Amino acid sequence: MRVFIGLGSNLGDRAYYLREAIKALEGPTTKIKETSRIYETEPWGGIEQPQYWNQVIEVDTTLEPLDLLHVCQEIELRLGRERKVHWGPRTIDIDLLIYDNRVSESEELRLPHPYLEERAFVIAPLREIAPKLILPSGRSINEVVGDGKVQPLT
């Protein structure tokens, strides 16, 4: 299955956390296909906190959506993620953005990601690695900008 995953970090060594999350995702059931550059972005959600570094990766996986979500959550925990404040600072955040053409409205997992088209920090790196992508809404990735300022670092 073709899956796009968003990564973000704004605590500690941001480059380290992004790199380690990507390494941890690679395995027998999940192969990294594409990796965007790192983008520095404003925090989302109105909470005072440091700037984020964000990336989007494309993976090919044999895992079902909930199984992949649980792998991502396990990696977050191993890398020191604490869930104290909604949209608050974090060492690492790993979000399933698009999972093939699957739709999920469960309490545990919503696919596609409900804020996908609203966030420039997701749209910019996603456009970089999938410039011809048609989003689940039916819109081209090139039609969508999202809110917030993004600046590529690399």
> Which residue in 90, 102, 119, 147 is the catalytic one?
90
Q: Give the burial class of 125: count Cβ atoms within 10 A of its Cβ; 0-12 exposed, 13-18 middle, 19 or more buried.
A: buried
> Which residue in 14, 93, 119, 127 is the catalytic one?
93
Can 100 be counted among the known catalytic residues? no
> Which residue in 14, 81, 119, 127 is the catalytic one?
81
Can 67 be counted among the known catalytic residues? no
- β-sheet bridge partners, residue 111: 104
Can 83 be counted among the known catalytic residues? no
Distance from C-alpha of 91 to C-alpha of 1, rounded to nearest angstrom: 27
> Which residue in 2, 19, 37, 95 is the catalytic one?
95
Distance from C-alpha of 68 to C-alpha of 64, rounded to nearest angstrom: 6
Ramachandran class of 148: left when φ > 0, alpha when ψ lies in -120 to 50, beta otherwise? left
Catalytic residues: 81, 90, 93, 95
